């Protein structure tokens, strides 16, 4: 377990205490297998957890991918996020995905896309609206979410159009891995087990290069004291998005470091929930208005 996951687990202990202070009853449906092991596709069996209000119908949905440098993490650590979002009337899916060094980025994104497809097909039975699916993630998970929002091919290969309504990127890493691994080979060496040593792969899995004709809106939350590489990649991503006229909503969090950007969701009354829920409400309202005629 790396330092990232260790710190998250420490916060989880406190989260479990806070979770006892429930107001709205919710359903927690855990360990749902959404993809079976497939040696030909080089992917393992993976599962997800669903959190929803006990009495719900046609609510917006958030599919969340955790961070951990693409090499660590597990869905149970984020029960607090699923529970809190469900109490705020957002059906939430917390997803496990393959991790390095056993698996590389292509398998991770493939499984992440399968999680969204599963959600599209099944979430209505948990009270979610399959037409209002948002993807989200922190750090490496934000990278996966941004790829799903910018590259329709992951869904087209499965015979689906992109079902994502919006993306919520929480201090996302990897928005331009080609730049980072090219310009900072020493610092980036540890990520080669995920992204390989092939610059073509670095570019293929850098969402900044796929913003042309981008229609899915994205909310980016950035911490003031996050890692310099994340600061620079977000800056580059925003600039490219402006050039391509892509819809980006940007929120800046003073004094926040990288890990506190996700652990702040332990407290339900903070700015993070306000920003995320406002983004979901705005995009959901646009959908409902567009389909009400």
pLDDT band for 173, please (50, 70, 90 cuts): very high
Q: Specify the higher pLDDT residue, 165 or 3.
A: 165
**Least trusted range by pLDDT, from 13-27, 156-170, 180-194:** 13-27
Predicted local distance difference test score (pLDDT) of residue 63: 99
The residue extents of the domains of the chain are 3-287
pLDDT band at 1 (very low <50, low <70, confident <90, very high): low
pLDDT tens digit sequence for 224-262 = 999 999 999 999 999 999 999 999 999 999 999 999 999
Report DSSP letters for 84-144, one per residue.
HHHHTT-EEEEE----TTTS-HHHHHHHHHHHHHHHHHHGGGGTEEEEEEEEEEETHHHHH
Strand runs labelled E in 139-271: 164-170, 218-223, 248-253
- 160 with 120: CB under 8 angstroms? yes
pTM of the predicted model, to two decimals?
A: 0.91
**pLDDT digit string (tens) for 93-111?**
999 999 999 999 999 999 9
Residue with structure tokens 């669903």? Answer: 50
Q: What is the pLDDT of residue 18?
A: 46
Instruction: Encode 28-94 in three state secondary structure.
Output: EEEEEEEECCECCCCECCEEEEEEEECCCCCEEEEEEECCCCCCCCCHHHHHHHHHHHHHCCCEEEE
Assigned CATH topology for domain 3-287: Rossmann fold (3.40.50)
Average pLDDT over residues 122-149: 98
Q: What is the mean pLDDT of residues 130-140?
A: 98
Q: Is the pLDDT of residue 48 over 90?
A: yes
- pLDDT at position 265, please? 98
């Amino acid at each position: 377990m790396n330092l990232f996951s260790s710190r998250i687990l420490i916060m989880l202990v406190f989260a479990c205490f806070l979770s006892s202070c429930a107001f709205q009853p919710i359903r927690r449906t855990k360990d749902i297998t959404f993809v079976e092991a497939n040696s030909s596709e080089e992917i393992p069996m993976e599962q997800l957890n669903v959190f929803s209000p006990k009495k719900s119908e046609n609510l917006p949905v958030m599919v969340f991918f955790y961070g951990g440098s693409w090499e660590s993490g597990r869905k149970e650590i984020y029960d607090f996020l699923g529970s809190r979002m469900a109490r705020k009337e957002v059906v939430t899916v917390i997803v496990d995905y393959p991790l390095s060094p056993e698996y590389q980025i292509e398998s991770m994104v493939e499984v992440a896309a399968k999680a969204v497809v599963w959600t599209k097909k099944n979430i209505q039975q948990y009270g979610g609206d399959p037409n209002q699916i948002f993807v989200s993630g922190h750090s490496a998970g934000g990278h996966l979410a941004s790829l799903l929002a910018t590259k329709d091919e992951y869904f087209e290969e499965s015979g689906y159009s992109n079902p994502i309504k919006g993306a919520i990127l929480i201090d996302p890493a990897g928005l331009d891995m080609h730049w980072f691994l090219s310009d900072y080979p020493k610092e980036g060496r540890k990520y080669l087990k995920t992204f390989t040593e092939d610059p073509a792969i670095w570019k293929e899995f850098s969402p900044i290069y796929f913003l042309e004709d981008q229609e899915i809106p994205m909310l980016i939350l950035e911490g003031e004291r996050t890692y310099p590489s994340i600061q620079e990649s977000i800056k580059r991503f925003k600039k490219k998005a402006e050039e391509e006229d892509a819809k980006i909503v940007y929120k800046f969090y003073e004094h926040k470091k990288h890990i506190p950007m996700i652990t702040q969701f332990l407290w339900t009354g903070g700015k993070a929930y306000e920003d995320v829920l406002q983004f979901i409400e705005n995009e959901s309202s646009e959908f409902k208005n567009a389909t009400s005629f």
